[in-house]
Amino acid sequence: MRIQGRELASNTMQAAGIFSMCWKLIQDDVMDEEDAELFKEIDSWFAEELPFPDPCLRKENVICFFKTENSDLMMRMIKPAMWLLSRYNHPFYVVYTNTPGEIVYEDDYQVAVRVDFVPQVVEFHHQWTNPDGSVTPPA
């Protein structure tokens, strides 16, 4: 499970994660001081409680996902950060996947996956419902 935004991170070209989005709001002086201090307190909890993935330390092209089986506490602690994003009308998505990618780091709570794939564009059927009301399945 990963909470990410619409914007792409320049290093990975993947959707930026929730911590990056909040830090960007702080760096851009969008988030006011007391909200920023609250976020920093949340961020420090994660820094204290979760191992920092080695590939992230080495600034490799990876993104991280929370493991769903151990995500209860993580989700409870991350919710205030989601609330802060909402306060500043910053869109985010909660993404679940069965194929995160090539796992290059793993601990009890998270995995880091390599993101060196090239995005593919696939044509889909332009209209699912015909004028007579019948439904055309995608090719």
- From 35, 64, 111, 112, residue interacting with another protein (rule: CB under 8 A): 35
Q: Which is nearer to another protein, 29 or 123 (CB)?
A: 29
Q: Is 50 in the site for another protein (CB under 8 A)?
A: no
> How many whole angstroms separate alpha carbon 139 and alpha carbon 131?
18
Q: For 126, how many CA atoms within 13 A lie in the half-sphere containing its CB?
A: 0
- From 10, 28, 29, 33, residue interacting with another protein (rule: CB under 8 A): 33
> How many whole angstroms separate alpha carbon 35 and alpha carbon 86?
12
Least spacing, CB of residue 26 vs another protein, in Å: 13
What 3-state class would DSSP assign to 103?
strand
Cα dihedral 47/72/86/38 (nearest 10): -40
Binding positions for another protein, 54-113, rule CB under 8 A:
75-77, 79-80, 82-84
Q: Is 34 in the site for another protein (CB under 8 A)?
A: yes
Q: Which is nearer to another protein, 54 or 72 (CB)?
A: 72
